[in-house]
């Protein structure tokens, strides 16, 4: 667990999101994607928790997440759909 994941606000978000179904998480992701580039620290924690909720369910997020200069990125550029056969998120471009 990294430092952010010890943050009480992050833990609250993760606890809430980890209980959601994959479909609910996709809906939440798409709502966040529609908001565009609005950033506050609590949203950053929420998005990390959302990313980790997908990962905890073993959902592939390779189209959305990558390592860049030692940091993990999580793209909100496009909405997504869940492909159950491949167990991964697909961007809708």
Query: Whole domain around residue 60: which residue ranges?
Result: 4-91
- Given a cut of 60, is residue 67 above it in pLDDT? yes
What is the rounded end-to-end Cα distance, in angstroms, of the chain?
A: 33
d(CA 16, CA 39): 20
Instruction: Give 39-63 pLDDT, tens digit per residue.
Output: 778 888 999 999 999 999 999 999 9
Place of tokens 């609910």: 24
pLDDT per position as a tens digit, 70-85: 777 888 999 999 999 9
Q: In this predicted model, what pLDDT tens digit does every residue of 4-42 receive, in sequence order?
A: 768 999 999 999 999 999 999 999 999 999 987 777 788
Q: How many domains does the chain have?
A: 1
* Cβ-contact 83, 74 below 8 angstroms: no
CB contact set of 25 (below 8 Å; sequence gap of 6+) = 17, 50, 53, 54, 57, 59
Q: Which residues pair with 73 in a beta bridge?
A: 66
């Amino acid at each position: 667990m990294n430092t952010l994941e010890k943050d009480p606000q992050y833990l609250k978000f993760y606890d809430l999101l980890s209980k959601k179904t994959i479909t609910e998480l996709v809906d939440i992701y798409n709502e966040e994607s529609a908001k565009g580039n609005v950033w506050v620290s609590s949203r950053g924690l929420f998005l990390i928790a959302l990313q980790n909720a997908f990962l905890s369910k073993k959902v592939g997020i390779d189209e959305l997440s990558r390592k860049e200069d030692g940091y993990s990125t999580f793209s909100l550029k496009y909405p997504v759909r869940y492909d159950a056969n491949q167990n991964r998120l697909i961007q809708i471009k």
